[in-house]
Amino acid sequence: MSEAKTKFPSMEAEHVDIFEAPEDYDDLSLSDFDEGAKYTGTPKMASVSSFEIENDDGKTEEKFRFRLLLVNDADETFLNINVNLKQDGDIQKDVWKKSVLFSFLSSIKELEAKDSMKGKNKIKTVDLKEYRDFVNILDEMTIEVIDVTGKYDYKSFKVLEVK
């Protein structure tokens, strides 16, 4: 079987998972919650995407993230979490313990195998597609908000329960 000839051989197409929350629901972020607060909703994990920011010296820099959305129909709210990444694509390397990504991934791994992450402070490599495939078939996810302090203060979260 021969490949069809095309005038546009450079085109590469792909499917990217993008999820939108209901427009009439209230949009929440981790910063809306105190440490220890819990939130439950139907999870949807989007594919990795890129965005640009202007750094301190005025130059534009490309960054990467995926979006985790938890939709709570009973409260008509959704929690929108952007998880920043060091690299583009599903294969992530050298994910350190102080990152939101580490907390997310390791807390799900701990639900599967208790104490599997005990004493670990770095994920050498991980394929986010495995996590996306798992998360996107769940009916419910409960997370707990975590305050992280240090050089930078920020909100993180861990997954407490999935159904």
pLDDT tens digit sequence for 132-148: 999 999 999 999 999 99
What is the reported pTM?
0.84
Cβ atoms of residues 125 and 91 within 8 Å: yes
More confidently predicted of 82 and 58? 82
**How far apart are alpha carbons 102 and 50 in whole angstroms?**
19
Instruction: Look up residue 160 and give its two tokens.
Output: 């407490």
Minimum mean pLDDT range among 49-63, 121-135, 140-154: 49-63
